[in-house]
Homo-oligomer: A and B are copies of this chain.
């Protein structure tokens, strides 16, 4: 059970004699999966690895609900600012951005979404969000939250347009989404920790910009990351994948493999049970109908 690919890497590089005994494993982060895919592409991965970062249940719990709530939690702990009626700009409308945008709207904010991908942008539009380029959103926003996976999403060029008191937070994995260096260069004075995890950048024209968590991922730095219910789902997936690999029924070749849909369903089923929710079960007649419909004569 790996996190970031380090274990797999170390095994291959330093303990090759152990590789033959490994039936397989699972990787829980997107970064690790990227590393594994490169190894696999080069023919260097000696056993099957399951990409446990990408189940539907994990995406729903972790990226959308967990990140959505915990990022807002981080912003509130750092600033205690009121969100109702404020213009919150969410950069990126992937699974995380969507969760953040919905949580902010749920607390009464007027949310603007920025995107580079037209399909995601359209998805945001159809969900009722205003979509604008960052250059247009910059002068209106009161709180900015980046969740794109890209860099310089709030860049030096945007700084002149920002409002006095604007709050800048990053929810992406790396601290490159807000160009902190450009911010530092534009500032005539930086006051650390005007509140916990809030630094004030005073610009020459008197505007003050508030950078949270030094541009690092705000839900981990200023709040507590994902709630335990989210981790439960992630760990359940990893445990079930290992059990499935250990049982040997999988018979997978070396390479990177998706979590089988059955395990995703099992996680969902267990999660529903633990919450007390119950669902319907197909009757035999319904099962026949659906089968004949999809595969019939």
CB A221 to nearest CB in B, in angstroms, measures 14
A126, B64: Cβ atoms closer than 8 Å: yes
Contacts of A227 in B (CB 8 A): 80-82
Q: Pick out which of these stretches binds chain B: A130-138, A183-191, A206-214.
A: A130-138
Are B76 and A151 closer than 8 Å at their CB atoms? no
Within 8 A of B (CB), among A190-243: 223-224, 227-230
B85 touches A69 (CB 8 A): no
Give per-residue flags for A135-155: 1 if the beta carbon is below 8 A from chain B beta carbons, else 0: 010001010000001111000
Number of interface residues of A (CB under 8 A): 87
The verdict on A115 contacting chain B, using a C-beta distance below 8 Å, is yes
Shortest Cβ gap from A128 to chain B (Å): 5
Say how far A23's CB is from chain B's closest CB, in angstroms.
27
A151/B289 in contact, CB under 8 A: yes
Specify which of B64, B81, B85, B289 is in contact with A150 (CB 8 Å cutoff): B289
Of B68, B114, B116, which one neighbours A282 at CB under 8 angstroms? Answer: B116
**This protein's copies in its complex:** 4
Q: Is A170 an interface residue (CB 8 A)?
A: no
30 A-B pairs within 8 Å (CB atoms) are namely: A57-B119, A61-B126, A64-B126, A65-B84, A69-B83, A69-B107, A69-B108, A85-B128, A103-B106, A105-B128, A106-B106, A107-B107, A108-B126, A108-B128, A110-B125, A110-B129, A114-B279, A114-B280, A115-B280, A116-B286, A118-B272, A121-B268, A121-B277, A125-B277, A131-B279, A132-B278, A133-B278, A151-B285, A151-B286, A152-B283
Q: Which 9 A-B pairs have the closest CB atoms?
A: A106-B106, A118-B268, A65-B84, A82-B227, A85-B125, A118-B269, A82-B229, A122-B268, A85-B126
Residues of A within 8 A of B (CB): 34, 38, 56-57, 60-61, 64-66, 68-69, 72-73, 76-77, 80-86, 102-103, 105-111, 114-119, 121-123, 125-134, 136, 140, 142, 149-152, 163, 176, 223-224, 227-230, 264-265, 268-269, 271-272, 275-283, 285-286, 289-290, 293-295
